Structure 1
Amino acid sequence: SRRGRHLFSVTLSLLRLLITRLERITPDSVWAHRASGLRGALLAYAKRLASGAPVDEARVRPLIQAAFIVLEQAAREKQKR
């Protein structure tokens, strides 16, 4: 069974990439507010990971998945303009 398996691992480089991409969403996008909240949450986890503190992957994975969705939706919105 593939249940419980994930396509990505929670790494500092992945968190930094998502944080950077979320920052680039234009403020007039309908996704900007959501991106800002996700960015803040991911930044907190990135700081913990960078300091060597333990990170509960079960809590951060949904945030990562949400970040990918927001980025995808913001890109689609931008294409429609």
Structure 2
Amino acid sequence: SLSTSFNYQTHVDLRNTFPQADPVRVRPGKFSHPEEKTTLTVFNIGRSVRLIAFINYKRQEVSIRHVLTHEEYDRGNWKR
């Protein structure tokens, strides 16, 4: 389980376990301070769902931001 055994220092480490996990940059202020750029991680789950999470590697914390169908994800409203 990702939540109980999270021990990744970087996105590269994470991709060794979850090769379908992709980093996506979102506009400053969307999920953080207005000046900071934020990178979210998008996990492909099966053929129909994408889980979007903010990962704080330093604190070893995962915060789920969205669970979307591929169609909802493709519309892009989640990153505005």
Q: TM-score, normalised by structure 1?
A: 0.27
- Per residue, is there more strand in 1 or in 2? 2
- Per residue, is there more helix in 1 or in 2? 1
Q: TM-score, normalised by structure 2?
A: 0.27
